[in-house]
Amino acid sequence: MSNPPKILAFAGSTRTDSYNKKLVRLAMLGAEAAGAETTFVDLRDLPMPLYDGDLEDQEGLSANALAFKSLLLGHQGLLIASPEYNSSISAVLKNAIDWASRPAKGEAPLACFKDKVCSLMSASPGALGGLRGLATVRSILGNIGVIALPDQVAVSKAHEAFEPNGKLIDAKQQRAIEALGANVAHLLFRLGD
């Protein structure tokens, strides 16, 4: 690959001090160390209405849905940190995926997701670290053409897991999260050869 791969990072949480936002930023460090360019997007900055087919028919995609789609189209890889809400995916993440999956005129179906390479991670105050929700995220992404790499990390007791500077207290977990970002970068480099 003559140009470094571009990886988009985001969390399925809009909370200001989100553990998942912190986590995905750590994975970005691994991707950058492996030579990729990364972009972080906060879904709070791109609020979208709840997906409604009638709304889409009447008004089309909102400016924020189009902006999110544009970001997805401009990146070959994804880093997604997904909180677990009631054993599943957060509404904000599912809604963003639903809006971005809608084709623009003349666009191939699922153009902004097809063949993207992704690593998944989660953080939660609970004992499982959001692990149950990752199964749902993985299933959704697989059905829309995203290649979700098998390695994933779920950080439990997230309220106790981070240092004030945003790094993980557990050095082994820190390395595992950074490796998720590096894995996406390494595979994209190989695919680009």
- 163-191 tens-digit pLDDT: 999 999 999 999 999 999 999 999 999 99
Q: What's the whole-number mean pLDDT along residues 30-59?
A: 97
Can you list the domains of the chain with their CATH numbers? 6-192 (3.40.50.360)
Residue 7 contacts residue 17 (beta carbons within 8 Å):
no
Look at residue 45 and give its three-state secondary structure. Answer: helix
Per-residue pLDDT tens digits for 58-105 = 999 999 999 999 999 999 999 999 999 999 999 999 999 999 999 988
Torsion, CA 116, CA 174, CA 176, CA 93, rounded to 10: -40
Q: Quote the pLDDT of residue 193.
A: 67
